[in-house]
Amino acid sequence: MKRPFMLSVGMATLAGLMLADALPAEAGPRAFVSNERDHTMSVVDMDTLKVIETIKTGRRPRGIIASPDGKLIYLCASDDNRVEVYDAATLKLVKTLRSGPDPELFVLHPSGNPLYIANEDDNMVTVVNVENNDLIVEIPVGVEPEGMGISPDGKFMVNTSETTNMAHVVDTATNEIIENILVDSRPRIAEFSKDGKQLWISAEVGGTVAVVDPATWKIIKKISFKIPGVTDDAIQPVGVRITKDGSKAFVALGPANRVAVIDAKTLEVEKYLLVGQRVWQLGFTPDEKFLVTTNGNSNDISIIDVAEEKVTKSVTVGRAPWGVVVVP
């Protein structure tokens, strides 16, 4: 597949030259992994499962997402208080965006703009126009805002605040909080299903995942986890990903070193897949054949075959891999 460019002609030529050097033009999908403790981003070729590049980033890179077309990678450099934007093809830093203090996680509006950023140190969600870096608004939320989700129609943005133990639902038209959902301790991630009919919220210390009906913003079910030989304390749900067809959900369980596979219709846990240590965030390949997990304490990523529900490989990346996004 040819990789398209969205750069100026001059830069594209330059980038093309570098690309010819660094990446084969027919390269397959690639995973971008933020490594919190060595301030780098690993680029993994998903066909060969090899690290093809390690990019030096700002300090303490954590949240990582891609633009809807997969051409840009957005990265939170938490200790540098900025969002860095990389070209997914040339792997070069394109620009930096304002983020407010200590950005941890963020979400793009489905249209690709604006960017909603959780400021963990500041009890705010900062909304930034990614085109011109303008600050649109700061929305006061609870203590230690972290998880960021957006409904597929872009109408609702959901932020979880870890110490307040709430998910705040924001109407994106008015940027006002319209609902506060009390969940279990330390909510980390808010993730909508593709049809917008479910909102999943993981609670790391509470050890549960709340599934919310966005029609009423009421919790339909709290999913809890039991793993033989693992203490309840070690079961700490963080990353959540749901397949596009809404059939399966995957939940990373932190120091339990497992990913739970959940039937997203019945909301029953089906099995647990053993991955690396302190599994944190998850990312599908664009075709959803594979799910990539970041394992913070074993410094690697695990590759899960989604159809087989099996871990097929692990790949060593940088120190304390935190987040992951895979682009075509």
Contact residues toward other proteins (CB under 8 A) are 79-81, 98, 100-102, 119-123, 137-140, 142-144, 161-166, 168, 174-182, 184-186, 204-206, 217-218, 231, 233-234, 255
**Which H or E run contains 22?**
helix 9-22
In the bound state with other proteins, the residue whose beta carbon lies nearer, of 35 and 164, is 164
The Cα 97–Cα 74 span in angstroms is 9
In the bound state with other proteins, the residue whose beta carbon lies nearer, of 197 and 218, is 218
As measured in angstroms, the least distance from the Cβ of 269 to other proteins is: 20
Query: Tokens 């100026």 appear where?
Result: 8
The Cα 223–Cα 39 span in angstroms is 34
As measured in angstroms, the least distance from the Cβ of 204 to other proteins is: 8
As measured in angstroms, the least distance from the Cβ of 33 to other proteins is: 20
Question: Is residue 281 a contact partner of residue 324, using CB atoms and an 8 Å limit?
Answer: yes
Structure tokens at 283: 């990312």
The Cα 54–Cα 47 span in angstroms is 17
The Cα 172–Cα 167 span in angstroms is 15
In the bound state with other proteins, the residue whose beta carbon lies nearer, of 70 and 254, is 254
In the bound state with other proteins, the residue whose beta carbon lies nearer, of 166 and 252, is 166
In the bound state with other proteins, the residue whose beta carbon lies nearer, of 45 and 102, is 102
Three-state SS string across 53-86, please?
Answer: EEEECCCCEEEEEECCCCCEEEEEEHHHCEEEEE
As measured in angstroms, the least distance from the Cβ of 142 to other proteins is: 5
As measured in angstroms, the least distance from the Cβ of 209 to other proteins is: 16
In the bound state with other proteins, the residue whose beta carbon lies nearer, of 121 and 305, is 121
The Cα 227–Cα 59 span in angstroms is 36
The Cα 307–Cα 305 span in angstroms is 6
As measured in angstroms, the least distance from the Cβ of 174 to other proteins is: 7
